[in-house]
Amino acid sequence: MKIYHNPRCSKSKQTLNLIQEKGGNIEIIEYLKDNLSVIELEEIIEKLRISPIELVRKKEQIWIDNYKGKDLTDKEIIEGMVKHPKIMERPIVINGEKAIIGRPPENVLEIIN
């Protein structure tokens, strides 16, 4: 199992703690330090079964300043998240071929049981 984690985010910390309480073996990826590639992000989005825009934190200032109101392709949105990983929803938990966004943290129970 993997968690794309931001240690400064309370929801991300809560999600990680919940997984650890359940005894889950988890690889922690601090995506703000270890930038994702376009291919990695495409794979994550495919596992989440969402469109790229659904992974964007639309209230982040970086999104508002650089992307809001523009007619962007999925590829451009993914490239924006690779360039500015702070605009990605978090945390993302992957267990095999299943993935979920840990907002609220209890969402992860769907894929760890």
Mind telling me the catalytic residues?
A: 9
12, 5 contact by CB (below 8 A): yes
Neighbours of 20 (CB within 10 A): 12
Q: How many CB atoms lie within 10 A of CB 85?
A: 20
DSSP symbol at 88: B
